[in-house]
Amino acid sequence: MHAMVMERAGERLKLERIAIPIPGSGELLLKVQACGICRTDLHVVDGELTAPKLPLVPGHQIIGLVQECGQGVIGFQDGDLVGVPWLGGTCGECEYCVSDRENLCNRAIFTGYQRNGGFAEYCTADARFCFSIPEDYLPTQAAPLLCAGLIGYRSLRMAGKGKRLGIYGFGAAAHIVTQVAVWQEREVYAYTREEDTTGQEFARSMGACWAGSALEPPPVELDAAIIFAPAGELVPLALQAVGKGGVVVCGGIYMSNIPSFPYELLWGERSIISVTNLTRRDGEEFLELAPRIPIRTEVQVFPLDQANEALDALRSGWITGAAVLVPDTADV
Ligand SMILES: [Zn+2]
Ligand SMILES: [Zn+2]
């Protein structure tokens, strides 16, 4: 099969021909139909996340058709359309796993990081961590739900129930979260880079009631803010924008250093929290909710062998919505 392979951090992915993987016990062999590109993939490829297996096939928002079920698989059969998220496996026995916090598992393994992901024509996945994909979605449109959607949804839950929600960085996750928040009758204030008027227009088209630069003072006092951009300097800005009791949620896996700030920004029972990975329950809840809203994803599709170009476009901020890779061999 063809796969885009990372040999070393900081290098371009290489288009290679490698063996189609064989599903082990409890695993599915999937024919990849689409694989979303996430900012986390950039942090892996660029070496900001430092523990990938190598060589590695990245990609953790995989939509695939089941080609073969390994021994002992329950819940899926050949021909099912399934999704594979970032959480690829957990130990099932650590203090986090046994207290409904498997997202914090000490021995978790991650798709497209510690096991091969979906920048390929085929992949395998532990069936216990795969999701059924609602029939309402095309594979390319479902792919961004699996990380941008899931992590975004978890971030929104962490933000509490406040009505006025700020979102910093308007990419794949933000465009999905905005649709959920608007459906929940909240107001969304979208912050982008100063010059990014396209991003601001996009945010308004997704339902944001205001969009502007992160450096502008907010038009209202916010109840909560979610930061998806990996820029630490946004944390004090967001703290300044939320009122007393406000929450600032950092939704990314990586962020540049947060500059020091006066304690008074945190005073008034404001809080800062990060969102780490996902649980399977997040996935089940969110994938049940998505078609009811219904969430529509805005995607830019690239052929599999253009993965480097797609990553470059994401790095430069040229993607409106989410980038998705599709192999030539996809059938739907
Ligand atoms: Zn565990
Ligand atoms: Zn991701």
Domains of the chain: 2-146+296-326 (3.90.180.10), 150-274 (3.40.50.720)
Cα–Cα distance list, 162 to 150, 194, 280 (Å): 20, 26, 25
Amino acid letter at 9? A
DSSP for 31-94 reads EEEEEEE-HHHHHHHTTSS----SSB-----EEEEEEEE-TT--S--TT-EEEE-SEEE--S-S
274 CA → ligand 1 middle, Å: 19
Q: Which residue has the tokens 């969430």?
A: 295
In contact, 223 and 165? CB cutoff 8 Å = yes
- Cβ-contact 52, 106 below 8 angstroms: no
Reading the block at residue 315, the tokens are 């790095």
pLDDT attached to residue 29: 98
pLDDT lower than 50: segments of the chain: none
Please report the pLDDT score of residue 101 as a whole number.
Answer: 98
**pLDDT score, position 217:** 80
pLDDT at 331: 87
* Residue 287 in tokens: 């994938």
Measured CA to CA, the distance from residue 332 to residue 327 in angstroms comes to 11
Q: What's the 63 CA to ligand 2 centre distance in angstroms?
A: 14
**Crossing angle of the two packed helices 172-183 and 197-205, in degrees rounded to 10:** 30
What residues does the ion ligand 1 have nearby, CB within 5 Å?
Answer: 90-91, 94, 97, 105
Q: What pLDDT was estimated at residue 216? A: 86
How far apart CA 161 and CA 261 sit, in angstroms, is 26
The ligand placed nearest to the CA atom of residue 103 is 1
pLDDT tens-digit readout, 137-155: 999 999 999 999 999 999 9
